[in-house]
Amino acid sequence: MISEIANAIFPREVNAGVATVHLTDDGQELTMRFPEHVQVAYRSATVRAVVSTVGDGFSRQFKLPLP
């Protein structure tokens, strides 16, 4: 399953390198390469972000991650 995950990585991670995992169709051979530098083409020049959080009943100020 892990070999089927797409390169849906965030822009800030592109330069950090990724690991690639490949399992052959017959399930006989597993290959891992790391660190690998991938090129990710983002279709849009801008991105919109969604975030989930839960209030703690006191905090009023929140920071959100940057893409």
Partner 1 sequence: MKITRSLSNDGTLCPIALNYLGGIPEKYVFFREQQQRHPASIYNLSLDKLAKAFAAVIQEYVRDTTRFSVEPNGGFDINVLLQAQEHLLHCLQEHLDDCYLILKTLVDPAKTTARAIAANEYVVDSKLPGAKSFAQATDEYRGSLTIVNKLKHNQGRLRGYGIYPGDGIYLGYFLEEPDKDGVVGPSPEIHPNQGAFSFARDLRWRFSWSILGSWSKQSSGLFGVSIKPLFQVVLRHNRRPTIGTDSSE
Spatial distance between the Cα atoms of 45 and 36, rounded to a whole number of angstroms: 24
In DSSP terms, 18 is beta-bridged to 36
Q: Which residues, 7 to 66, sit near partner 1 by CB under 8 A?
A: 7-10, 12-13, 16, 18-21, 23, 27-35, 42-44, 47-54, 56, 59, 61-66
Cα-atom radius of gyration of the chain, to the nearest Å?
17
CB-nearer residue toward partner 1: 39 or 65: 65
Does residue 49 contact residue 66 with C-beta atoms inside 8 Å?
A: no
Question: Interface residues with partner 1 (CB under 8 A)?
Answer: 1-2, 5-10, 12-13, 16, 18-21, 23, 27-35, 42-44, 47-54, 56, 59, 61-67
